Structure formats: structure tokens, C-alpha cells
Amino acid sequence: MKFTDIFIQRPVIAIVICLLILLAGFQAGNSLSVRQFPRSDVARITINTVYVGASAELVRGFITTPIERAIASAEGIDYIDSESAMNRSTIRAHLRLNYDPLRAMTEINAKVNQVRGDLPPEAEVPSITIEAADSEFAAAYLSFNSEILDQNQITDFLTRSVQPRLTAISGVQKAEALGGRVFAMRIWIKHDRLAALQVTPLEVRQALQRNNVQAAIGQTRGSYTQVNLRADTDLNSVEDFENIVVRQTDSGTIRLRDLADVQLGAEDYNTEVRFSGETAVFLGVWVAPNANSLSVMQRVNAEMAAIQKELPTGLSAVVAYDATKYIDASITEVLTTLTETLLIIVVVIFLFLGFSRSVLIPVVAIPLSLIGALFIMQLFGFSLNLLTLLSIVLSVGLVVDDAIVMVENIERHIQAGKPPFAASIIAARELAGPILAMTVTLVSVYLPIGLQGGLTGTLFREFAITLAGAVTISAIVAITLSPMLGSRMLKPHRTLNAPLGKIFDRFQTYYSGRLAQTLRHRPAIYIVWVGIALLCFPLYLFSAKELAPLEDQGVIFGIVESPANATVDQASFYAAAVNDIFMAVPETDFTFQLTFPTGGFSGLVTKPWEERERSVFEIQPELQEKLGAIPGVRIFPITPPSLPGGGNFPVEFVVAGTAPAKDIYDYALQLQEVANNSGKFNFTMLDMKVDQPDYLLNIDREKVADLGLDLQTVTQDLGTLLGGGYVNRFNMAGQSYKVIPQVKRTARLTPDDLQELYISGPKGELIRLDQVATLSHSTAPRTIHRMQQRNAVKLSGDTHLPLGEALAFLEQEAAKILPQGYSIDYTGESRQLKREGNTFLPAFLLALTMIFLVLAAQYNSFRDPVVILAGSVPLAVFGALIFTFIKMPMPLPFFTDSFSTTLNIYSQVGLVTLMGLIARNGILVVEFANRLQEEGKSKLEAVHQAAVVRLRPVLMTSIATVAGHMPLIFADGPGAGARIAIGLVLVFGMAIGTVLTLFVLPSVYVLVAKDHQQEQARRAELQAQL
């Protein structure tokens, strides 16, 4: 008795096994979390240091470089890049994928503390934070606006009431006010009054420091009591500051109000935010790198609903942008595709088996296998995400195969005259081996994907194991439940009345004749076979390559680049022009803008996918043309990256070297010119601009010495008048705010006005600045960038070509332009492509090797696996690569815009999956042909009969797979790019591969397979000797 007999003879065992699978799957389905992608830590540690009044060169030399050197040796860092600009330094340590960001932050924080003593004393304490490295954009933007409250008041309300509630939500990295104006006590110094009253800037600064003191004086202690003491030494109001005594003279008291206008103003007046054209304050919500953005945003939206009920009168709030809406819509689309796939599979089964009880067996097996896969996901700690759901969609075509093959075999034996019970036992015995072989084969295919490192391994590990789990459960159901149901549900002597029954019978006869012809002309078949196999190499090498297909996420961001000397008022004018263009797009739902003097960014959020006819990729070129017509400013429309860690732009190409930044910039400028003239890029931009008007204050050191001055006093006076740095803080309603002295704006409208300012003399007298200094004009870079502690310039942009082709062009041109000592590097999506693009071939070869070894062990032969793989895999891969190699614009315009895709991580995983699918067809034929040989038939007779007999299950499973995956290639809406990429590879690879395999594999079998007749004879002889 074979082990499969027990499930037919004792049906309760089969039912119990399946009920256990069902119960385990249902309880797992209720506990699985939902997220966009499998969990991955794509994080960076950002170090921000403010050095008010310092130029970009000064910041680089005294802030950026020391900190970079200190943290370079920290563990877990992939690469370091930095940006030195006026007043600030930003250093980003990008961590290796899935490296613990908390561990990295602890080590980096310790190393920064070691060099804090080396930083200028005027620099603020470095701020160190963990950020998701996906892009600069937040997961959500919350808009607050009012016609009653000003921006200061709105910002203060957000700081006190809203920010704490949002940052307290688990998974929120930070909630940062954008475009807000934080209260500050502004001391607007009148330089003419200083001159008239002979008061120096240093005296004003010292008066603020002396008279606004936060004192903690302690407590009294008696024998039985103690009393806390506090001193009223700090200032809290405009009147308090106005009354500060700056100098006491014989002629009277000089107070601060005599020298300056004191105002409760804002720290910064250089940012502005608009929501659909109306002034607003934004809160950007960033999700922690390892948090589930879906669940985090659910909590944020719930908290926002509560906050909206508690807003002050006249203040309104809306969620301006929520990235998880795209995720929700994508998951819904995948579930819709799953439903469509199930319906199509059921129709295919009906067409082949007819409306009979036999249809119910695979129909029952499919949901049972899929539900059981949920338990596998729970067992491994997986989540319901776009990739695991996609694996469930793909598994529908796989899990139905086992049940179809089993039912077809039972039906064949019933037609041969066997009663259903006996037919089920015989069929189960015959197919237990092939089903197990096919299952192990598919599991072997997915194992290399699960073992891959990098981003592909992180993303597709859950995909691969979920698919392997579904196939494994499908095999269990096919061996236990399907034959048991067949033995009790199917009727004897029933003629198949399937709609395609007669058509199939005619085709089977036709196929038998054509196959006989090909077997008689095997040399021609071998030539075709070898030719197709060899064509796979150029098709792969010259296929368009990118990391992942672009996805319509329902938003277009516009990066705005203003002139170097623009003010926030001028930048706001540009932002208004951008908003007018955005609002004129019919698909626009609403817009938002964040503006600052050097530029800003805008956002166009589209209407829901079902309410618009055009995708964002159709809108983007139209916007590019209209935005390019705005004079005096450059705007670059971009879409968010498809995968975690994708950066801001698809193209991020870095030129680095030890040469001065200006020299690197000159070469990068040449490369940009070549790129723009090539027509291969929608736009390009350099992150370095040498166009910042810069005035150097040339101090005459001899005159300074002659007048008894010292440079420290001079710089302190200038910093007080011009820098905008804070002196100390004051308390207002339980919050501390900065006190900022600065000369009034009217005294610093032009560089020439600065020479009329006064500085402190050695005896307290005033000396005009132009007595000791002159101004010289030059042009300086807005920012200075470095990568891996070397000067660098990044060329960013967008391309209408596959990303791999665009990068290859830049590499080729850079090799011509750059001299010795320069190097190239990548960030963002370009860096990911360079790393992940070379991992497919090793994974594919490993999967091929795994299948070969498994089949060799299964058949105790190294020849049979060669027949199965060589006679099927190259043919299917050829069929798939056709659609990554050639472009077929609009072959079916009423369905889709294109029937082509690129080689990306989705299509590559599809190729590996295809290898396992097509190998199953070979297993069915080879297994049966071997058995026929053992029964005495020649190789030629055996393979001909096996191919004809197995034609029905091969076609049924292949057509079920192809038809079931059709919804993928006609996908539309959110997440369609990934589904189309994997769908095209599977559908056309399987369709073309199956047709070719039916004629090529039998000839390969005759050429390569073992002669099982001789082997059977040897076994019989050995048995006789024993």
C-alpha cells in the first residue's frame, strides 16, 4: 500500500488535515499586520549644526570636516555625504540596509561629542537625528490656516498643542513645523541712534546678557522647614526689554528703547507656506525608518480628527498630503487582481472539465491553499504587504495546477474503465512523485530569492517564502484531499462534456501528428533549440534596465530653484506662478508650496485614480513645458520613488575628487551640458551653484592695531548687528524663546550700507566700519558638497529612458571628460540599481543549480534534469525577454499603452518564477516517458506517447497560469507598474515557452535522456544475483 492510499481509504484523515490548515489560516489572517513593503531599515543619521553668520567655506572647514572625520569610522555606515551652506552644516551618514539605526546613532553621537571642543564656540550644539532615507519628503503634510490668527500664533499653537500629541504617537519620527514663525524677541537696532548716543553694539549685547538672566538661587533650610527661593531676574515682555538700562550717564539713562525697536516677532521671516494658494503653516510628519507607515498614519489621522474638534476659533486644519493613500489604493488593486484571477481560473477549469463535480475539486483546493499560506506568513513573522499579496496572486496559478493534474489523471483512468475509487488510488500513486518533484522544484526556485542579500533579498524574501508555502500546502491538498474527493464525487463511465472537450480532442490528434514530424526531423529542432538558447544572452544584455517601474502615486512634486540673490518675496512670486499652473491641470485636487529665498518645493495632489483619465506621467511632460516658461526660475517636476531608499531623483550621479570644489564643478558643468544636449534627459541639475553674490570684508589689520582694536571685538559687533544670532532666551507662558538683536533691515538693504555701521573703539567710542575695512565683490558657491570626505558635485535629474541606459551614458561621457584623480559614485535609486542590477544572474544560476540537484536526486539521474531544464527553461526565458528587449507601443490601445517592460527587480523575480513554472511541464512529460520506457517502449515511442497523453494537463495548467495572470498585464491605477512587469514576464514567457516546449523537449529527451530499458534490465539482473 502506498502512503497516498490512506487518505482515500480513511477520508476523515484528509478532512482533518485540511480543516487544520483552514483554522490555522483563518487565525493567521486576523493577526497579520498590513504595510506597503516588507519591513526594512533604510535609515540615515543626520547631523545638523547651526553656525550663524558663517559662510559656506567657513562652515565646511570648521564644522563639516571635523565631524566627518570623527564619524567616518563608525560601524554600519554605507557612505557619508554632506552639505555646507551659509549658517549651517548638514552631514548625512547613510546606513547599510537593515543596520540598527539606534546602535549607529549611539556610536555617532559619542564620536561627535569627542570633537565638540574643536568646533567654534559660536556654533550651536550639533543636532543628531535618525531619519528614513527614502527621500526628503514627509509621509504626510498637515495644513493649518486662519483668517484671524497670524503665522506666529498658529505656529505657537502647533508647538504647544499639536506637535507633542503627534510626536507621542508610536512610529512618528518627528512632526516639524514648516513655514511657521516661532516667536522671538527681536531687538531691531537703529544704527543711527547708536551713533547719536555713542553706544557701541557690544554694549547692547552685554546689556541683554546682564539683564535677562535665568537664575536658580536655591532654598532656605531651617530646623523644621525649608523654603524654595527664586529671583525675578528674567524678562518676559516687550516692555521689560524696552526698559533695559544700557548705559547710565551724567545726562541721564539710556534704555534699550532709545536705541532699538523691540518687537515680539519671529525667529525667521524667510519661509512661506501656501495650501491651494492660501497662506498656511504645515506640519510635516516623518515616519521612523523601521515603523509601519500604514498603521502610523492611521493613528495620526485618528489623532488629527480629535485635534480638529479642539482647534481655536478661526483655525482650520486638513491633511494636505498623505502618502499612505497610495499604499491603501495599491493594496486594494492587488486584492481586486486576486479576485479577477480566481474567477478566470474557475472559468478555465470549467472550459476544460465541464460543469461537473470534477470542477469542484480544484475550486475547493485553491482557497484552501491560499488560506493556508497565511499561516506560513504568520509562522515566519511576515506581514500582508504589496509583495506578499502579489505572491498570493501568482500562487493561484500554481496551486490550481496540482489539483488539475490530479483530477485529470483520475478522469483519464475512469474513462479507461476503472471505478472512481480505484481510479483515484491509481492516479494518486502515479502523481505523488511528480507532484512532490514539482513542489520541491518550485521551492528550490524561490530559495535563492529568499537567500539574496541587499534590497532585493529584503523585499522579496517574504514574497518567495509565501509563494513556496502556498505551493507546499497545495501539494499537501492535492495528495490528500483531491484524490479523496475524486473517489467519492466523480462518477464512472462519464463522457467529458467540457466546452473545449471536442476542440481539445481534435487538437490532441493534430499535435500527435505534428510531434511525430518533428521527431523525424530532430536535427532541425536542435538547431532551433540551440539558436533560441543563444539568443537569450543578447536579449538579456541589451534589454532596458531599471531598478523598479515608475508608479503613479497620485502626486507630483516640483523642486523650485530660485536665483541666488532672491528674497522670500521674490520666491513667493514664483511659487504663485507655479501654483497657477498646477491648479490649471484638470486632474488637480489641491496644491501646496513651501517657499524660501533659494527655492522651495511644490506639490500637486491629483484626484483619485478612478476620477481621472491621465496618469501623473502623462501630466508631467505638460507641466515641465509650462513650468519651463516661467522666467528667472527653474522648476523640476518629479514623482516619488517606487521603492524604499530611492532618493529624490531617479538619476543621482556624483563626480568626486580631492581637487578644489570649483574645479570639480567645472567638470560637472561640462557633463551636464553633454547630458542636456543628448536629449536623453527630461532635465538635469547640479547641487552646486557658483552664483551666490558674495562680499568680502577686507579688514586692514594695521589700522585695527593702530586704533587699539582687536578682531574679536570687531567680529562680535558685526555679528550683533548683522548675524541674527540669539543672545539668550526669555520665558513666555512656560516656553522659552530666543532673544535676537540685529540692525534694522533698512540699514542693510545693500552691501554699501554696511560701511556706515559703527563698531566699538578701545575706549568705548564709536568707529565707522569703513575706517578699518573695505568691501570687495566676488561670487561664491551657495553650498559645498562632499561625499566620502571628498569634494563632490552631484548631477541629478529625470530621464525618459530606462535608468540603466541613462547611467551608462553618463559613465561613458564622464570617462571622456574627467581627468586622472576624479571618480564617480551614485546615491539614491541610481546607487540601488548599480548594487541590485548585478544580483540577478547569480540568483538565477543558483536557482537553476538547485532545481538541477533536486531533480537529479529525485530521478537518480543527471540526464533527466538536463532534459527537463534545457528543453524548457531557455524557451520560456526567450519568450519573456522578447518583451524586455523590444518596445511595442500600443499594440492593444483599448487595453494598455504598452506591452513591454524593463529588466527590473519585479521582472527578474518573474523570470526566476517562470523557470520553476515551465519546468513543471517538463517533469510531467519526462516522468511519464521514463515509466513507459520501463514498461518496454523505446525512447522515441515513450516520449511521443508521454507528450500526447500529458498534453491535456500541460495545456490545462499552462492556460490556467497564463489566463490567471492576465489581470496583471492589464493592470491600471496605483501599483500597476510592478504588476505589469511581473505579469508580462510570466504570461508571455509561459505562453511562448509552453508552445515551444511541447515540440522541443521530446527531441531533447531522445538526444539526452537515459535508456531506462537498459537500466531496468540491469536492475532485474542485479535482483536475480541477490
**Rounded Cα–Cα distance for residues 378 and 792 (Å):** 46
**Rounded Cα–Cα distance for residues 403 and 364 (Å):** 9
The values of phi and psi at residue 212, to 5°, are -125, 90
| pLDDT reported for residue 996 | 93
Pick from 970, 627, 617: nearest CA to 799 = 617
**Rounded Cα–Cα distance for residues 703 and 443 (Å):** 83
| pLDDT reported for residue 494 | 53
Where along the chain do its domains lie?
5-31+327-459+501-542+839-1025, 36-133, 144-219+230-284+296-322+709-771, 555-585+600-691+783-825
Task: Decide if 909 contacts 460 (C-beta within 8 A).
Answer: yes
**Rounded Cα–Cα distance for residues 492 and 357 (Å):** 12
Task: Decide if 786 contacts 68 (C-beta within 8 A).
Answer: yes
Contacts from 301-305 at CB under 8 Å and sequence distance 24+? 303/165, 303/166, 303/169, 304/142
Pick from 566, 815, 559: nearest CA to 685 = 559
**Rounded Cα–Cα distance for residues 252 and 238 (Å):** 22
What amino acid is encoded at 176 in this protein? E
| pLDDT reported for residue 130 | 86
E strand or H helix at 535: helix 522-541
Which residue has 543626520 as its cell numbers? 46
The topology (CATH level 3) of 5-31+327-459+501-542+839-1025 is: Multidrug efflux transporter AcrB transmembrane fold (1.20.1640)
Sign of CA dihedral 881, 884, 885, 888: positive
**CATH number of the domain at 144-219+230-284+296-322+709-771, please?**
3.30.2090.10
Query: Mapping DSSP to helix (H, G, I), strand (E, B) and coil, where does residue 383 land?
Result: coil
Question: Would 36-133 and 555-585+600-691+783-825 be classified into the same CATH topology?
Answer: yes
Kindly report the CA angle at 470 between 465 and 472, in degrees rounded to 5?
A: 90
Non-local CB neighbours of 691 within 8 Å, separated by 6+ positions: 563, 564, 779, 782
Number of neighbours of residue 182 by Cβ within 10 angstroms: 18
| pLDDT reported for residue 1002 | 93
Pick from 563, 558, 393, 488: nearest CA to 986 = 393
Sign of CA dihedral 539, 544, 547, 551: negative
Task: Decide if 440 contacts 851 (C-beta within 8 A).
Answer: no
Q: What is the 3-state secondary structure (H, E, C) of 340-368?
A: HHHHHHHHHHHHHHCCCHHHHHHHHHHHH
Task: Decide if 856 contacts 865 (C-beta within 8 A).
Answer: yes
Sign of CA dihedral 879, 883, 887, 891: positive
Cell numbers standing for residue 12: 476523515
Pick from 38, 79, 187, 67: nearest CA to 741 = 187
* Per CATH, domain 36-133 is 3.40.50.1000: no
What amino acid is encoded at 388 in this protein? T
The values of phi and psi at residue 445, to 5°, are -65, -45
| pLDDT reported for residue 239 | 92
| pLDDT reported for residue 1 | 52
Q: Average pLDDT for consecutive 10-residue bins of the chain (1026 residues)?
A: 79 90 88 81 88 86 93 92 90 90 92 91 89 74 88 89 91 85 89 84 86 77 75 85 87 88 86 83 84 87 90 88 86 87 84 72 86 90 86 82 80 82 86 81 78 78 87 88 85 61 81 91 92 92 83 86 77 84 90 82 87 87 86 83 78 92 91 92 86 74 78 76 79 87 73 71 78 76 89 90 89 92 90 79 83 84 90 93 69 48 85 86 87 85 90 85 87 84 91 93 89 65 61
Give the predicted TM-score (pTM) of the model. 0.80
In 572-638, beta strands by DSSP E: 588-596, 599-606, 634-638
Task: Cite the DSSP H helix spans in 80-184.
Answer: 101-115, 151-157, 163-167
Cell numbers standing for residue 307: 485635534
Pick from 412, 398, 425: nearest CA to 488 = 425
Between 3.40.50.300, 3.30.70.1440, 1.20.120.450, 3.30.110.30, what CATH number should domain 555-585+600-691+783-825 receive?
Answer: 3.30.70.1440
What amino acid is encoded at 896 in this protein? T
**Rounded Cα–Cα distance for residues 82 and 64 (Å):** 7
E strand or H helix at 1004: helix 976-1008
